[in-house]
Chains A and B, each alone.
Chain A
Amino acid sequence: MKKAHGGKSKAGIGWWIFVGLAIMTGIEYLIAIALNINLFFLAQIAILKAGLIAVYFMHIGRAFERPEEHEE
């Protein structure tokens, strides 16, 4: 880890991802309790939420960076 990842501009993304995740969790809860919607729909939301966490919070892309890209 030679360089600081995530400057001030990137820090704001976290809030948007958080809001997106919160909204999806709310939708998930409402449709499951009120509508008894099926497993397939819940799985789609869960996969979408997991994707957002992996990409924006866990920075999965960094695992595939070459060393020179990582340190630039």
Chain B
Amino acid sequence: MAVATIAHEEEPEHGYGTAVHHEEPQRPTMNQLGLWLFFLSESFLFAALLVSRFYLAGTTRPGVNQPLGLLITSILLCSSLTAYRAESSIARGNRTAFLSYLLATIALGIVFMGGVAYEWSTAEFTRSSPYGAAFFAMTGLHATHVISGVVMLAMVAYLGARGHFSAESHWGVEGVIKYWHFVDLVWVFFYPTLYLVKF
């Protein structure tokens, strides 16, 4: 009842325009907050998988391809830098650099996916083993996020090439690049968990 009363009081009597007018100055902050809440909800999912790896396989480290693990981690790290540079470039109004860095980020993301695919095809363990189940689930879910990130970056690059976004207005770029950094952040935890941990 109380909730209904508050909602009624906040709703403008003469239509939807007034409410929009009051909310508009807060829009960037609300977008940021919404995105971070999304990241928080995603973090629970990734954290659950990370914990399940230790539950299923303990701290063993079966024969994973260490050089490949380090290589794809480095590639993802480089892609974070190019993504950062792309965002900085559009913030300065440099569209050419923005598009170049964005395309480099997409290319690095695709190379990362190639590395993961190669790891899957040459893995010494199977999906039915405890470590294999954790490994394929974790890398699989992460790869899904990388693919969706690449698709979103491609959409941003397409829109950017058509003249969208500017130094003054580039929330679309910022949001997608934040997502890309989040994918990198997840891998920061997944890499040692899958490749390095061993007692």
Interface residues of A (CB under 8 A from B): 1-8, 10-11, 14-15, 17-18, 21-22, 25, 28-29, 32-33, 36, 38-39, 42-43, 45-46, 49-50, 53-54, 57-60, 62-63, 65-68, 70-71
Contacts and interface: CB of A to CB of B under 8 A. Distances in A.
A4 B85 contact: no
B interface majority secondary structure: helix
A71 B31 CA distance: 13
Interface stretch (B108-116, B138-146, B147-155, B167-175): B167-175
A10 B170 contact: no
B105 interface: no
A55 to B, nearest CB: 11
Interface bin, chain B = 35 or more
Contacts of B159: none
A44 to B, nearest CB: 10
A2 B28 contact: yes
Contact of A14 (B70, B88, B185): B88
A46 B189 contact: yes
B25 A71 contact: yes
Interface in B156-199: 167-171, 174, 178, 181-182, 184-185, 188-189, 191-192, 195-199
